[in-house]
Structure 1
Amino acid sequence: MVTLTQRLLFVLSFISCIAISMSMRHNTPIPPTTARLTDRFPRLVFDGAFSDLFGGQNIKKTSNGSQVSLMLDKTSGSGFKSNDAYYYGFFSAAIKLPMDYSAGVVVAFYMSNSEAYPKNHDEIDFELLGHEKRKEWALQTNVYGDGSTGIGREEKFFLWFDPTADFHEYSLIWNQHHIVFLVDNLPVREVNHSVAMARAYPSKPMSIYSTIWDGSQWATHGGKKPVNYKFGPFVASFKNFLVAGCAWNQTKAAPSCTRSGQSGRLALDPIEGDEFVKLSADQQRGMEWVRSKFMFYSYCNDLSRFPVLPPECKEGKQ
């Protein structure tokens, strides 16, 4: 007699076989499975958490404010920013990119404090760079600390999915231990708060930004492919905003927040648990899968640009 458990296992096995078969048929890589950190936090509605930054006429809010579209046309790009600045935490948004020819277009989801600290700002960047074919969008990550813009710490990846067909999650972990860039909960890059990175590690409260803009001068093949507005307007959509950060009280020299379950105890890190301090074995394997198959540029491998590599590269942890 077949038990209910056996039936469920058979169904799950059958579904898995279908998924693998479809992936092989369409030559779509299957990423490793990792913990879904984005399921741990409540979603925010745009209004109340974010405000228009520029290009107001090119910002459209739908689904009762839970989804926002940013448009780039001949008149302007557009963008929004968080109403608060945050210190450490988990920050995420689901993004769907413009379809068709998009060379020169840049869609960014990032954290920065350049407005508050114009001479020594910090920044953590996701930048999605358009291309001639819709499936060839490139993902660029970057980190600046204390105005260290003289060293661009870029790493670039191709994506293992079509980012124009559906929404995908782009997330950041930022705490005193490390910065982790994740795509659909899969780590693609880890920047450790090491001795070598101490001065260049982001250390001041940052706001969250999302923008779409004309990066013709550099974004595609070093500026060889400018934006062609015949294919515009270019629209990027955002939803599933997650912010689990320590909001900065600007009347104080530094932010503070209380850990859940520890009433009265102040701490700078609003996210708890080993999974936010160190990558798990599954996350490490997932990151190695991405970097071995899809990373096509790392500043730590660019000897023509850096005859003497930045000190953190020598640690082999970037």
Structure 2
Amino acid sequence: MENIFKIKKASIVGLLLILCSLEEVHSRGPIYTPPEVERLTDHFSRIQTNQGYTVSFGAPNVRLTNNGSGADLSLDKTSGSGLVSKNKYYYGFFNAAIKLPAGFTSGVVVAYYLSNADVFPHNHDEIDIELLGHEKRRDWVLQTNIYGNGSVRTGREEKFYLWFDPTQSFHDYSILWNNHHIVLPCRFLVDNIPIRQVIHSAAIAAVYPSKAMSVHATIWDGSEWATHGGKYPVDYKFAPFTISMKGIEMEGCVMNNNKSISKDSVCSRNSLSSLDPVDGEQFAKLSSQQMAGLGWARGKHMFYSYCQDKSRYKVLPPECSNAV
């Protein structure tokens, strides 16, 4: 009897140790404590939302908060809403801390992205972080995408489950975009953990974003596609759907309309010997900590990559042979 008790006690202790290694149990399964990584967000200055952005659409559904340092954007039956940066950037680091709406959010799309579709409507570039709402008892999904020179017919999506509840507090969503050197990456980060990097290699050069882009933050109705291919549209009886933003960072090479001025002469950062705001080894390649974070995020939380979708592509896009 004593031996049986010892076995049961050991089993309980083992189970408790396993549970202690988890932050919580989510509807998709366990959410693990993320690894420690360098905080790229600490390298750049934060600005007021009203200093860096202007309203792009849905003005009645945009409300500045904390004396303009933050903003609430809402979607209701009349309209979604959005902000667009006052400047256009050639490359740089872009961040927003966002808190998402809770509850039944199927069909709702929250997007933080770079685009120049207003200037190049049939030949535009785009770098996307999209947060896709969910049906009851499901989680928000994070989707990333990238394309250049109007290459929208070839989707380069990757999808992730988050390791936290994005409706309970603010979390950082960041894009690091290098463009001027062919071997440098575009990188997506969540709370400073790299989840994806796209190397500007010869394989992807023709569709790699290369033209100056604006920074956008939006919430809108994606009923036709966002939740299980449009199976679950937005249910406006749960509206309004509101996101809160703060922690704005936008530091890059600002486009100047004076064509006689080169883009390298108008970069916004003065503290570096180089005018490039994302210069230096910490931006050119991942550290060992960041590599571990990238492997952790992709191994535990990525559930879809276009580079693994052979039913969609009979011949995978050329960059998939060395995708990270």
TM-score of the superposed pair, with normalisation by structure 1:
0.89
Q: Distance in 1 between matches of 2:82 and 2:24?
A: 38
| Corresponding position of 2:51 | 48
Alignment of 1:79-118 (within 5 A): 79-118=82-121
Aligned-pair identity in percent equals 54
| Corresponding position of 2:219 | 212
Contact 2:109 2:219 (C-alpha < 8 Å) held by counterparts: yes
Q: 1:133 to 1:39 in 2, by over 3 A?
A: farther
Q: 1:75 to 1:205 in 2, by over 3 A?
A: same
Alignment of 1:1-318 (within 5 A): 21=20, 23=22, 27-133=30-136, 136-176=139-179, 177-252=184-259, 255-256=263-264, 257=266, 260=270, 267=275, 269-314=276-321, 316-318=322-324
Q: Distance in 1 between matches of 2:24 and 2:296?
A: 21
Contact 1:71 1:234 (C-alpha < 8 Å) held by counterparts: yes
| Corresponding position of 2:12 | none
Amino acid at match of 2:250: V
Contact 1:135 1:161 (C-alpha < 8 Å) held by counterparts: no
Q: Distance in 2 between matches of 1:96 and 1:187?
A: 19
**CA-CA distance at 1:29 after TM superposition:** 1.0
**CA-CA distance at 1:133 after TM superposition:** 3.9
**CA-CA distance at 1:39 after TM superposition:** 1.2
Q: Distance in 2 between matches of 1:311 and 1:160?
A: 31
Amino acid at match of 2:52: A
Q: Distance in 1 between matches of 2:315 and 2:199?
A: 20
Q: 1:22 to 1:231 in 2, by over 3 A?
A: farther
**CA-CA distance at 1:260 after TM superposition:** 3.4
SS at match of 2:229: helix
Greater displacement, 203-212 / 27-36: 27-36
**CA-CA distance at 1:41 after TM superposition:** 1.2
- Structure 1: runs of 5 or more not aligned: 1-19
Q: Distance in 1 between matches of 2:293 and 2:34?
A: 7
SS at match of 2:263: coil
Q: 1:92 to 1:134 in 2, by over 3 A?
A: farther
Q: Distance in 2 between matches of 1:205 and 1:255?
A: 10
Amino acid at match of 1:213: W
Contact 1:104 1:216 (C-alpha < 8 Å) held by counterparts: yes
Greater displacement, 196-205 / 132-141: 132-141
**CA-CA distance at 1:298 after TM superposition:** 0.5
Q: 1:240 to 1:134 in 2, by over 3 A?
A: farther
Contact 2:52 2:250 (C-alpha < 8 Å) held by counterparts: no
Q: Size of the alignment, in residue pairs?
A: 296
Q: CA RMSD in A?
A: 1.9
Q: Distance in 2 between matches of 1:91 and 1:105?
A: 23
Cα deviation 1:28-65 (Å, max 9, x = unaligned): 41001100110111111122311001100000111010
Contact 2:99 2:245 (C-alpha < 8 Å) held by counterparts: yes
SS at match of 1:52: strand
Contact 2:21 2:32 (C-alpha < 8 Å) held by counterparts: no
TM-score of the superposed pair, with normalisation by structure 2:
0.87
Contact 1:142 1:153 (C-alpha < 8 Å) held by counterparts: yes
**CA-CA distance at 1:255 after TM superposition:** 2.2
- Structure 2: runs of 5 or more not aligned: 1-18
